[in-house]
Structure 1
Amino acid sequence: MADAMVERAQRFINSTYNNGAMLGISKLDEDGKTGWTVMYALTRALQYEMGLTSLSNSFGPTTLSTLQSKYPSLNASTMPSANFCRIIQSALYCKGYDGGEIDGTYNSRVQSAVAQLKLHMGVDGAYPGTSLEPKVVKGLLNMDAYVSTAGANEQIRTVQRWLNARYVNRRDFYIIPCDGHHSRDVAKSMLFAIQYELGMADGVANGNFGPGTQSGLKSHTVGQGNSSTWAYLFTAAMVLNKRNVLFGEFTGGVQSEVETFQAFSMLPVTGVGDYATWSSLLVSYGDQTRKGSACDCVTKITPERAQTLVNAGYTYVGRYLYNPSKTSLPEKQIQPGELETIKNYGLRCFPIYQTFSDSASYFKYGQGCVDATNAVEWAKAHGFKSGSIIYFAVDYDAMDGEVTDYILPHFRGISRTVTENSGYRVGVYGPRNICQRVTDAGYAETAFVSDMSAGFSGNLGYPLPTKWAFDQISTITVGSGTGAINIDNDMASGRDQGQNDFDPPAGIVSGLDRDLDQAKYRAPLLADVQSYLTSIGVPETGGEGWTADGDWVTYGAVTTTEAFNHVMDADYLFTNLARTLKIRKALIQAPVLWELRKLNALDAIADEAVKAGLKDDCSTGWGQIFAWVTIQARNYCIQQGYLNASPLTSADLKSVWDQLQDPEYNIRSVAYLTMFNSYQLGIPSPSLTTSLADTQALLARYNGTGDKAEQYGRELVGLYQVLENYNALSRA
């Protein structure tokens, strides 16, 4: 929402600093909306007014030290210039405080706002009065909130204000947000606080969980009745980990919650704040000297290595279903005979699927579908039984916004594909925030947490996910000689027991379709599709012909090119369905492209009639399928084990019709109808070697029965052959 005073602040920057040119930035939009762009501009303006020649968006050490040396206390008598004051007034408005008239006067309104700001920060005791101290200015010129924001936890806000109040005068401690939410900066401030209480000097304390901090914590166990600063720090750490305690003394209630936390984290249940518990509260990997009962590795489990793991007390072994690299880590993928060795030595295996999942650009809904199909194929090939949880990896530090925009859609694709097309279950591997959000969304059942990356923003400030199964805390080497093996040492919660029995290895089926090499074949394929359709009386636009409903109509609402582009853009889905059902994807593509091309005015009228409740059903969506046919086809596929879902009834008619408006659901239904049509025709189910005659019969049955359907099949089999020619080139 626009704010008139923020707009005035933006105009001040533009008018005073030559539309930003003097600050090295572009002209600000005068839209009245605060944000980092405005804060960066104000920071640069402050640096300019202090005489700095190298301007930056960052309020860094040089800016702070210059402010501390020149203006250690800003007030009405020490404000160096009117513009300097206007910068402060503008920043106050951007923070939601009354900055006066942005007139360069440090008046009573400004003073009142500054006093309120410091109160909200918790530093009013350390910095009494209405002057502005340099660290307060630094806190003013960022986007941190110092009042409770949506979803705030007031206990967390109390901790934030307490930390600011107690440590703001230490050299390397900067004012943290007081918004009631844990964060990376808050987590770092806790480590500084502990180091200060351990007696570390400024310049020695660094906010890292290093040897000195670890050693010091080992001598600061806290328990019931303790009311020292250490009890306050420990309860603060509990609060920040979303444990149900009150910040302050170590009471009986705190002890009970500590026991709950220790049991949840697979720590010894002592009821006191011992070193192991301190560690798990402060850093994601916790006490790395702990020995877990699980591990994962990129090395083949030989009999000698299996014995090493058994001797070291391990039960669960995570191994990779697939290795996309031809040269790196040659034993990363499960090797022939390896699962039998794991079984024979009493170990249990949990499968991991990882490709090049190391940047946001990799993650999208379609890629999730592709990964799921590949993972299911490899899990079956290795012999994992139905019910196994496959952990899909996110191997980078995704920001929370990226989780929303990329990771969640990716796992929605994984979840839908795995759930519909196999008996396997979905797990997620990644930092804490990703694991929590994916499981909260219902796209994964359990989480394998990459907690060794303690500096990841997705780990700092986030508690251990509620549905964690494995927690990766350290890399170690166990055993010696031929039994030596380098592993990631993992804690296990028991939520996933892995597998200790396997089906005989099935191998990967050869000859399956792949995604079309669109860079190479998309243009010539379109030309051949256009040429063929034109040869049977279907030009690029317009035309007449039979519909799936058996009507002779004028069509052309969608051009050949548009229909083709729709099919090519969903190529991943056609590929996945074809690979899952072990059929040729042209058998699904052909009717979809055909029905898209032949959409007509009658189709739109029928759809509107169903929407208005005037009709119960009509052929609809990309594949122009009736809901009642879809129900029959899906139920058949459920019975045959092609589809993992609950049977549908006539009561589901409207719901199914609505879902058919979703192209993905519609395309899937086309594939299932193809399988059902073989049953209706009394011919073998389609396969990779289905004859051209049976293919034509299946395509004809898509239109029904009779002469019109036979003509439909004759026309469509030609389109099938055009598509199959290029699909064959891509899988060669």
Structure 2
Amino acid sequence: MADEMVQRAQRFINTTYNNGATLGISKLEENGQTGWTVMYALTRALQYEMGISALSNSFGPTTLGKIGELYGKIDDSTAPSANFCRIIQSALYCKGYDGGEIDGTYNDRVKAAVTKLHQNMGVSTVYPGGSLWPKSTKGLFNMDAYVTVSGGSETIRSIQQWLNGRYLLRKDFYVIPCDGHHSRDVAKSMLFAIQYELGMADGTANGAFGPGTQSGLKLHTVSTGTTGVWARLFTAAMILNKRNVPFGDFTATVQSGVQTFQSFSKLPVTGKGDFQTWASLLVSYGDQSRKGTACDGVTMITPSRAAALKAAGYMYIGRYLSNPSSTSLPEKQIQPGELATIKGAGLRCFPIYQTWSRSADYFSYSQGCIDATNAIEWAKIHGFKAGSIIYFAVDYDAMDGEVTDYVLPHFRGVMRTIGENSAYGVGVYGPRNVCQRVADAGYAAASFVSDMSSGFSGNLGYPLPTNWAFDQISTITVGSGTGAIEIDNNIASGRDTGQGDFDPGMSRDDDLDTDLDKTAYRAPMLSDVRQYLGSIGVPETGGEGWTADNDWVTYNVVSTTEAFGMVMDADWLFTNLARTLKIRKALIQAPVLWELRKLNPLDALADEAVKAGLKDDASTGWGQIFAWVTIDARNYCMRQGIINGTPLTSSDTRAVWNNLQEPEYNIPSVAYLTIYNAYQLGIARPNLTTTAANTQALLARYNGTGPAAAQYGRELAGLYNVLENYNKLSRTS
């Protein structure tokens, strides 16, 4: 929503500073909406008016120091110019305060706004009156809120205001948000506050959980009856970790909350704010001297290492299902005989799946499906039993927006693939925010938390996830001699105990389809597809023929090149299905490519009729499948134990039809229908060696029965052969 005064502020910047050129920025959009772009422009304008030559978006030490040096404080007696004052007025409006008429006058309205700003910050006692001081000016020129926003907690806001009011005059403490939400800045301010109360001087206090801070906290256990600043700091830390206790004195209610927190975090349940409890509240890794009962690592568990781990009290070992590198970390992947060693030592193992997963662009729905398919395959090769939870890694500091846009779709793909095609469970490895959000979305049963990375924005300001199974807090070495092994030391909650027994395992089938080598084969494959289809009367565009309903139509919706491109873009999905079901992916590709190429206006009309409620069902989506056929096919595959799921009924017809609009649902349905068709034909389930005759029969049955279906089968058999030729080259190259 546009704000007229913010729009005036934007216009002031544009007209006064040569459309931003003077400030080294582009012209501001005069849309009346505040944001970082506007705040950066106002910061640069303030610097310009103070004579700072190197303008910057950052309101850093130079800007802060210059205000103190030139003015001490900013008010009607010190504001050096009308434009300087207009910048202050504009910033106030961008923060939601009445800055007057942006007329260059530090008048009573401006003073009242500054007074209100200081009250909201919690610093009105420190900075009484309507003058802006350097630190409150810095707080004005950013996007931090000083009122409760977006469902924030009033109790957390009171803590934020208290911290500001008590510590703002310390050298390295700056105004923190008062928005009712825990955050990175708030977490760091808590550490500064504790260091100040421990007596650390300015310059020594640094907001880090170092040896001095830890030693000091060991002398400040709080318990029932404790009052004063240490009780307030401790209860603040509890509240910031989403514990429902009152802010202030250490009461019986606080003691009960502490006991619950300690139990949840697997700390000794003392009911006191002892050092380990302080540590767990203040930093993600907590007390790194804690001894865990779980570990993970990239080193093979040999008998001597297993003995050393068991002697050190470890019970659960996390090991990697695969290693994408053939040279780096040669023992990262579970080695032959290793699980037998773990079992023989009376230990248990939980599986981890990770390839790259260290930047946002790795994650997507399709990559989640791929990872899940590979993880299922490797878990079976190693012999992990049904019910094992596989932890899929998010091994970087994912920003909250990246979790929304990349990580959650990725885990939706993981969950759908694991849930439909295996009896394994899904876990997530990553920072606290990642783990909690994936769990809240219903995509993970358990979390393996990368809490050693305490500086991650996804750990700072976030409590331990509600479904945590393993909490990674330190890297240590256990054992000596041949038993020495470096591990990540993890606290175990008991939510997942891994596997202590294993199936014999499977050999890896090297004859399964792989992703097409698109660099080498995409262009010649398209050329051969076009040539073949042209030879049977299906040109690059257009074409005419009979539909299954005996309607003569013109095929002019999708060209051969477009249909082929769509199939190639979904190659990952065809590959996944082929590997999971152990069939040739050309058997799925051929009907999908054909149906895409043969889309016609009558198909679109049928879809619209279903959407309007005029029809109950119609063949739809990439594979042009009816919902009722999909229901029969999926139910058959469920009964055979090929896929998991809840049996479908006729009442699900519309929901299934809607799902068929998604290629990720439609294409698997093509594969399941092909398996069901084998049953209907009374022939063997399709596999990697299905005969040419059976392949043609399955392709024909996709179109039904009768002469038209037989012709369909003959035509698609030729297309199958073209596709299979290049798929074969890819899997053998």
Letter in 1 for 2:216: G
Partner residue in 2 for 1:49: 49
Q: Which runs of 5+ in 2 are unaligned?
A: none
Distance 1:419 1:505 in 2: 20
Distance 2:56 2:286 in 1: 37
Tell me, yes or no, if the aligned pair for 1:695 and 1:717 is still in contact at 8 Å: yes
Distance 1:587 1:41 in 2: 59
Residue 602 of structure 1 deviates from its aligned partner by 2.1
Distance 1:511 1:227 in 2: 71
Q: What whole-Å deviation, never above 9, does each CA across 1:190-213 have from its counterpart, x for those lacking one?
A: 000000000000000000000000
Distance 1:156 1:317 in 2: 38
Partner residue in 1 for 2:233: 233
Distance 1:549-1:720 versus aligned 2 partners, 3 A rule: farther
Letter in 2 for 1:375: A
Mean alpha-carbon deviation: is it higher for 648-657 or for 206-215? 648-657
Partner residue in 2 for 1:373: 373
Q: What whole-Å deviation, never above 9, does each CA across 1:31-81 have from its counterpart, x for those lacking one?
A: 111111111111111111111111111111111111111121111111111
Equivalent residue runs for 1:17-416 within 5 Å: 17-416=17-416
Tell me, yes or no, if the aligned pair for 2:548 and 2:708 is still in contact at 8 Å: no
Distance 1:550-1:414 versus aligned 2 partners, 3 A rule: farther
Tell me, yes or no, if the aligned pair for 1:548 and 1:702 is still in contact at 8 Å: no
Equivalent residue runs for 1:502-521 within 5 Å: 502-521=502-521
Residue 631 of structure 1 deviates from its aligned partner by 1.0
Q: What whole-Å deviation, never above 9, does each CA across 1:372-428 have from its counterpart, x for those lacking one?
A: 100110001100011110000001001111111111111111111110111111000
Letter in 2 for 1:503: D
Tell me, yes or no, if the aligned pair for 1:348 and 1:500 is still in contact at 8 Å: yes
Mean alpha-carbon deviation: is it higher for 482-491 or for 71-80? 71-80
Q: What whole-Å deviation, never above 9, does each CA across 1:219-277 have from its counterpart, x for those lacking one?
A: 00000111120000000000100100111100100000000000000000000000000
Distance 2:678 2:552 in 1: 26
Letter in 2 for 1:386: A
Tell me, yes or no, if the aligned pair for 2:92 and 2:113 is still in contact at 8 Å: yes
Question: Is residue 422 of structure 1 aligned with residue 422 of structure 2?
Answer: yes
Distance 1:126 1:438 in 2: 43
Residue 680 of structure 1 deviates from its aligned partner by 1.1
Distance 2:630 2:109 in 1: 69
Distance 2:127 2:197 in 1: 21
Letter in 1 for 2:605: I
Distance 1:517 1:126 in 2: 67
Partner residue in 1 for 2:609: 609
Distance 1:306 1:551 in 2: 71
Distance 1:551-1:671 versus aligned 2 partners, 3 A rule: farther
Residue 530 of structure 1 deviates from its aligned partner by 1.1
Residue 548 of structure 1 deviates from its aligned partner by 4.8
Q: Which runs of 5+ in 1 are unaligned?
A: none
Letter in 1 for 2:612: A
Query: What SS is found at the alignment partner of 1:351?
Result: strand
Query: What SS is found at the alignment partner of 2:66?
Result: helix
TM-score (norm 1): 0.99
Distance 1:376-1:60 versus aligned 2 partners, 3 A rule: same
Distance 1:174 1:86 in 2: 24
Q: What whole-Å deviation, never above 9, does each CA across 1:421-477 have from its counterpart, x for those lacking one?
A: 111110000000000000000011110000000000000000000000000000000
Query: What SS is found at the alignment partner of 1:473?
Result: strand
Partner residue in 1 for 2:476: 476
Residue 549 of structure 1 deviates from its aligned partner by 4.8
Tell me, yes or no, if the aligned pair for 1:529 and 1:722 is still in contact at 8 Å: yes
Tell me, yes or no, if the aligned pair for 2:633 and 2:672 is still in contact at 8 Å: yes
Tell me, yes or no, if the aligned pair for 2:192 and 2:207 is still in contact at 8 Å: yes
Question: Is residue 573 of structure 1 aligned with residue 577 of structure 2?
Answer: no
Tell me, yes or no, if the aligned pair for 2:89 and 2:102 is still in contact at 8 Å: yes
Q: What whole-Å deviation, never above 9, does each CA across 1:541-582 have from its counterpart, x for those lacking one?
A: 111234355654332222112211211111111111111001
Mean alpha-carbon deviation: is it higher for 206-215 or for 684-693? 684-693
Partner residue in 2 for 1:700: 700
Distance 2:183 2:584 in 1: 50
Distance 1:170 1:527 in 2: 72
Residue 653 of structure 1 deviates from its aligned partner by 1.8
Letter in 2 for 1:188: K
Question: Is residue 488 of structure 1 aligned with residue 494 of structure 2?
Answer: no
Tell me, yes or no, if the aligned pair for 2:67 and 2:73 is still in contact at 8 Å: no
Distance 2:22 2:621 in 1: 57
Tell me, yes or no, if the aligned pair for 2:619 and 2:627 is still in contact at 8 Å: yes
Distance 1:70 1:506 in 2: 76
Q: What whole-Å deviation, never above 9, does each CA across 1:473-502 have from its counterpart, x for those lacking one?
A: 000001001111110000011111110111
Residue 636 of structure 1 deviates from its aligned partner by 1.0
Distance 2:460 2:517 in 1: 41
Percent identity between matched residues is 76
Distance 1:52 1:431 in 2: 40
Letter in 2 for 1:602: L
Partner residue in 2 for 1:538: 538
Distance 1:520 1:99 in 2: 65
Residue 523 of structure 1 deviates from its aligned partner by 2.1
Distance 1:43 1:607 in 2: 55
Distance 2:163 2:44 in 1: 29
Question: Is residue 680 of structure 1 aligned with residue 680 of structure 2?
Answer: yes
Letter in 2 for 1:353: Y
Distance 1:197-1:572 versus aligned 2 partners, 3 A rule: same
Distance 2:559 2:471 in 1: 53
Q: What whole-Å deviation, never above 9, does each CA across 1:293-326 have from its counterpart, x for those lacking one?
A: 1000100011111111110111100000011111
Query: What SS is found at the alignment partner of 1:326?
Result: coil
Q: What whole-Å deviation, never above 9, does each CA across 1:78-133 have from its counterpart, x for those lacking one?
A: 11111111110010011011111111100111111000000000000111111000
Partner residue in 2 for 1:650: 650
Give the RMSD, CA atoms, in angstroms.
1.0
Mean alpha-carbon deviation: is it higher for 182-191 or for 21-30? 21-30
Mean alpha-carbon deviation: is it higher for 509-518 or for 323-332? 509-518
Distance 2:111 2:516 in 1: 67
Partner residue in 2 for 1:500: 500
Tell me, yes or no, if the aligned pair for 1:176 and 1:185 is still in contact at 8 Å: yes
